[in-house]
Amino acid sequence: MSFTVTIKEEIAKQESTESELIAELSGYIRNNSIISKSKITMTTENNFIVDRVTASIKDIFDIQTKVDTIENLNFSKNALYQITIQDELDKVLKILGIKENNKYLDTVPSYIVGANEEIRAYLRGVFLSSGSINDPKKSRYHMELLINEPEESVFVQKLLNIFDLNAKILNRDKGYMIYIKEAEKISDFLKIIGANKAVMYYEDVRVYRDKKNKTNRLNNCEQANMDKIIENATSQLEDIEIIEENDGVVLLDDKAKEALEYRKKYPETSLKELAEIISLETNKPITKSGLNHRLKKLKDLADRFRKMK
């Protein structure tokens, strides 16, 4: 079972008030139905959505729906269910805020989503109809809602952003995609639609991934530092080799000679560690900066020999 299906199954089993069911059903039918003069038809691959929609229609309107299994043309092995409403269409469409005075409304009236809980319910219905969220274990963070009509897409985006979710719209060949990319915002969306178990799973995975990424960044940083230490030490040893080949040690002062001997003795230590070793063994404190200054004298002398060659 996919992560999206798990979320939908969880939210489809919530207990809701009548006004919440109306808002949820409105969001679902607006975004997953074909409406004609004689019927409203909806399709889904999920039997728990069939149960949710048919029960809601029965509770709100006291009418029966027809459910058929039809051929699935989406190359899916899952059965495809078709839910049909044939009775009291005008009443259903009016109460759900889809049609008023024989005119179809571009967006749902404000009284359908007049309270926060009704807004959450409407978004729940939209997600049940056309939403998906990537499993955070397997892919990048991504939530999307597919909407057919431009007015509806802008309206749903505004509802999402009431909760500061930073939802954006992308125009696609067939309709519009509202999407959220930020992991924290997707988690907030799951809380908004009441998918509490999914939130716990999502947060566990998100925290694990964040820790893993942080560890990888630290490891990469440590490796980069180690590479730099080895590169610098190798360069200093090459300078020393050139100085010794040209009998140039006698040209160095005592402090530079000391730095030369300790670099040869501890070829893989960092500059900071080498300064600490010299301070400890000679009982003459030297800073990292001071040691770097001495090693620069070695480099300058080695460069002079290189130029002579």
How is the chain split into domains, by residue range? 3-194, 212-308
Determine the Cα–Cα distance for residues 31 and 84; give it in Å rounded to an integer.
Answer: 15
Q: What is the largest CA-CA distance in the chain?
A: 106
Residue type, 31: N
Take residue 107 and report the two structure tokens written for it.
């967006």
Q: What separation in angstroms does the CA of 151 have from each of 22, 31, 142, 147, 239? A: 20, 12, 23, 9, 72
pTM above 0.75, yes or no: no
Among the listed ranges 144-153, 199-208, 214-223, 232-241, which one has the minimum average pLDDT value?
214-223
Q: What is the pLDDT of residue 137?
A: 84
End-to-end CA distance of the chain: 72
Mean predicted lDDT score pLDDT of the chain: 90
pLDDT tier for residue 76 given thresholds of 50, 70 and 90: low
- Identify the CATH homologous superfamily for domain 3-194: Homing endonucleases (3.10.28.10)
Q: What is the pLDDT of residue 75?
A: 61
What backbone torsions phi and psi does residue 83 show, to the nearest 5 degrees?
-105, 130
Determine the Cα–Cα distance for residues 301 and 218; give it in Å rounded to an integer.
Answer: 37
**Res 177 pLDDT > 90:** yes
In the block, which residue shows the tokens 């985006």?
A: 157
Q: What is the pLDDT of residue 96?
A: 93
